[in-house]
């Protein structure tokens, strides 16, 4: 089967520069990548076709030969430069997709550098008071730390790692697959380019040992559940002396027996007697800054919210201080003696039929129920 024109494969003109060719190849390669099209048998061929076109058009010598002689100018079987002789598959992905997948894939970089250690997460349980006002706590974190015996190299004291005999220190090996040269991590040294013939007796060649460290964490005022504090370099140590990862301390604010938090506002329930609710009064209520007096107006109904401004939380990311909202909850008296019951009965009698003036909500509710049943029976 005859090959398609390389410019046509990538959808560019013959005057396209390298930037346009790279952009076009990225678009086509992402569209036909085998991992994205596992059920399409033609996608793999189109992907290889686009890769072959990119390799030729990005090489000035190959492109000149192709423009002059066509496919024959770059066909190795016909004496041309050939697709398999110049660049490699990994180089292409390093150039085109490096910014997407986080690096050049090692195509031109040679041996991989020291790997960074893993990040760690620690969940810190703190009280609401500490979350609002801030605090400093000490935590114990188990992690992999650099071996002090071998200074993280993994080799026994007095010895050192040797160049890998499989990859020659490159950290990668190449395999020929048809028209493609595939570059992959060396299985012998795992991309390090070096092997340890005489490992350290403490870390057994890993360069890291498990330790539990005590760290001091400064919690700023206003944090809430889910907020994270980053401690740079306090994660796991990297293998073979690589840099350490980071430790993320995630806040978890414990439930409070009085207050509930919603963003920068605090909520609490304030039980009041029916006498205070009816006649009004003054109660002492708690806040995170101490006690304050709350004035209860006469005829207060259960569920009414009283707002104490500035008694909430100052957000950790800045902004005004929240409020404390107190919800009145009417408490029914219990364990009444005989005289108290008689007084309540006398009160009930004084209300009489005119009780709808003193209990308008109850009266309207019963009227609504009556209307509901009348509608059902009519």
Q: Which residues sit in the known binding site for Zn(2+)?
A: 147, 150, 164, 167, 186, 189, 200, 203
CA angle 344, 349, 355 (to 5 degrees): 100
Q: Are the CB atoms for 288 and 266 separated by under 8 Å?
A: yes
Query: CB under 8 Å to 308, separation ≥6 — which residues?
Result: 285, 287, 292, 294, 323, 324, 325, 326
Q: What CA–CA distance (Å, rounded) separates 255 from 126?
A: 9
Q: What CA–CA distance (Å, rounded) separates 126 from 252?
A: 6
Query: CB under 8 Å to 207, separation ≥6 — which residues?
Result: 146, 147, 150, 152, 153, 154, 200, 237, 239, 240, 241
Binding residues are 147, 150, 164, 167, 186, 189, 200, 203
Q: Would you call 247 exposed, middle or buried from its count of C-beta atoms within 10 A (0-12, 13-18, 19+)?
A: buried
């Amino acid at each position: 089967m005859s090959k398609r024109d390389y410019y046509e494969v990538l959808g560019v003109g013959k005057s396209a520069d390298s930037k346009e060719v790279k952009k076009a190849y990225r678009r086509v390669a992402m569209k036909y990548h085998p991992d994205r099209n596992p059920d399409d048998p033609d996608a793999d061929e189109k992907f290889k076709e686009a890769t072959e076109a990119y390799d030729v058009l990005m090489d000035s010598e190959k492109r000149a030969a192709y423009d002059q002689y066509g496919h024959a100018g770059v066909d190795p079987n016909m004496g041309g430069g050939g697709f398999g002789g110049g660049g490699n598959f990994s180089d292409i992905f390093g150039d085109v997709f490096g910014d997407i997948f986080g690096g050049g894939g090692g195509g031109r970089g040679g041996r991989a550098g020291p790997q960074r250690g893993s990040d760690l997460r620690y969940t810190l349980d703190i009280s609401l008071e500490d979350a609002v006002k801030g605090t400093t706590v000490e935590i114990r974190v188990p992690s992999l730390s650099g071996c002090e015996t071998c200074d993280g190299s993994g080799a026994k004291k007095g010895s050192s790692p040797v160049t890998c005999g499989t990859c020659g220190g490159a950290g990668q090996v190449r395999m020929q697959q048809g028209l493609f040269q595939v570059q992959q991590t060396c299985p012998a040294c795992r991309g390090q380019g070096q092997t340890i013939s005489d490992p350290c007796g403490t870390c057994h060649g890993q360069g890291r040992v498990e330790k539990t460290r005590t760290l001091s964490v400064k919690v700023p005022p206003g944090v809430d559940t889910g907020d994270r504090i980053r401690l740079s370099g306090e994660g796991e140590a990297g293998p073979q002396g690589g840099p350490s990862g980071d430790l993320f301390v995630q806040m978890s604010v414990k439930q409070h027996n009085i207050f509930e938090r919603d963003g920068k506002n605090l909520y609490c329930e304030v039980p009041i007697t029916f006498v205070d609710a009816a006649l009004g009064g003054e109660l002492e209520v708690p806040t995170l800054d101490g006690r304050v007096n709350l004035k209860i107006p006469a005829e207060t109904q259960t569920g009414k919210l009283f707002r104490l401004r500035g008694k909430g939380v100052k957000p950790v990311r800045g902004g005004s201080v929240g409020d404390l909202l107190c919800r009145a909850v009417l408490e029914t008296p219990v364990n009444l003696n005989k005289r108290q019951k008689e007084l309540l009965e006398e009160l009930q009698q004084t209300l009489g039929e005119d009780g709808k003036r003193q209990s308008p909500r109850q009266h309207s509710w019963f009227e609504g129920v009556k209307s509901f049943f009348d509608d059902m029976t009519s």
